[in-house]
């Protein structure tokens, strides 16, 4: 038998979510080795996402079974009101499983997704949404220009060629330093990056006065929630390595894959070194920064990274 009346009956209104949900996916199983600086990277990611995005947003974090220290940090941030929505998964669902929950459950009309090692610049969200709202049938917008595989933005080029309103240009438009900064963060050598820069090209579009580059990527994107739900569910049997499914599905559906003309998002990878100085200001990665010549020798590098990957799988890929 009920005693009294539920006080919630007297609440006259409820809060409304922001139109845009910024969703960050995180996984830090321990704080040593590869992940020694991962918590600092996560903190930098979240702080940069909510500092001057250019428009109102709610922050959602999905944690994929991280260690206790990381979960406690996220709980503290949520309690302090700096994270509006926090999902703590008991098990690592992989990126596909996390996407199934995030992309279907985020409350915003627009979802801006990011891996937890993305560093944002002021105005990143406003610029992304401007492209999303200006161009028709947009599948995803990434807040940085870089070069992706042409076959996964073929629908974007086909659309641009068919539209008299669109100015389509092909050439070397991304500045070398901008190109170098991003590719260095992926662990490539400067020689490899230079060769790719000189043998590939950019596709730049201008539509109704708004410039964008063709291409986008699964590591960071802004999209209509309604469009993303058409690609669910994702079925991935590995935690990583199959995330290009989203890029391919968006292109196959004939939706546009676009990037901002300015570098407003950066991949930090697993360290803040080469990304921020002591004062907290962003600085470009310096070309030629190396740990040790022997460690960068391709056969040695391949062997050591191979053993690292094998040891990691022995302990954590079970």
Alpha carbons 141 and 217: distance in angstroms, whole number? 8
Buried b (16+ CB within 10 A) or exposed e, 211-246: bbbbbbbbbbbbbbbebbeebeebebeebeeebebb
Q: Is residue 162 part of a domain?
A: yes
Q: Is residue 263 part of a domain?
A: yes
Residues of the chain with pLDDT under 50: 240, 276-280, 282-290, 318
Q: Is residue 7 part of a domain?
A: no
Supply the pLDDT for residue 285. Answer: 41
Task: Provide the domain count of the chain.
Answer: 1
Q: Is residue 6 part of a domain?
A: no
Q: Is residue 293 part of a domain?
A: no
Instruction: Residue 137: name the closest of 220, 48, 230 by CA.
Output: 230
Q: What is the CATH number of the domain that holds 123?
A: 3.90.550.10
Q: Is residue 316 part of a domain?
A: no
Supply the pLDDT for residue 286. Answer: 42
Supply the pLDDT for residue 283. Answer: 44
Instruction: Residue 107: name the closest of 47, 57, 52, 53 by CA.
Output: 57
Supply the pLDDT for residue 52. Answer: 96
**Helix 38-50 and helix 68-79: axis angle, to 10°?**
20
Q: Is residue 315 part of a domain?
A: no
Supply the pLDDT for residue 288. Answer: 44
146, 75 Cβ separation under 8 angstroms: no
Residues spanned by the domain of 33: 20-267
Q: Is residue 288 part of a domain?
A: no
């Amino acid at each position: 038998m009920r005693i009294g009346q539920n006080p919630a009956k007297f609440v006259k209104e409820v809060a409304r979510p922001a139109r845009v949900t910024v969703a960050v996916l995180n996984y830090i199983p321990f704080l040593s080795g590869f992940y020694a600086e991962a918590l600092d990277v996560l903190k930098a990611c979240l702080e940069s996402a909510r500092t001057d995005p250019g428009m109102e947003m709610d922050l959602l974090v999905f944690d994929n079974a991280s260690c206790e220290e990381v979960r406690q940090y996220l709980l503290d941030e949520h309690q302090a009101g700096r994270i509006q929505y926090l999902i703590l998964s008991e098990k690592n669902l992989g990126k596909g499983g996390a996407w199934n929950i995030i992309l279907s459950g985020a409350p915003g009309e627009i979802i801006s997704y990011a891996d937890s090692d993305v560093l944002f610049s002021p105005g990143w969200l406003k610029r992304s949404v401007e492209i999303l709202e200006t161009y028709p049938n947009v599948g995803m917008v990434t807040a940085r220009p870089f070069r992706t595989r042409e076959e996964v933005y073929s629908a974007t080029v086909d659309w641009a060629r068919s539209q008299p309103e669109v100015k389509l240009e092909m050439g070397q438009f991304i500045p070398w330093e901008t190109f170098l900064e991003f590719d260095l963060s992926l662990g490539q050598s400067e020689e490899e990056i230079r060769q790719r820069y000189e043998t590939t090209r950019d596709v730049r579009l201008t539509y109704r006065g708004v410039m964008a580059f063709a291409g986008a990527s699964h590591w960071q994107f802004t999209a209509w929630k309604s469009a993303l739900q058409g690609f669910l569910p994702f079925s991935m049997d590995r935690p990583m390595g199959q995330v290009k499914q989203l890029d391919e599905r968006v292109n196959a559906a004939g939706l546009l894959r676009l990037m901002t003309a300015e570098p407003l998002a950066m991949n930090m990878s697993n360290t803040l070194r080469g990304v921020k100085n002591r004062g907290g200001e962003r600085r470009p990665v310096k070309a030629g920064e190396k740990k040790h010549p022997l460690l960068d020798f391709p056969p040695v590098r391949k062997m050591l990274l191979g053993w690292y990957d094998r040891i990691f799988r022995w302990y954590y890929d079970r």
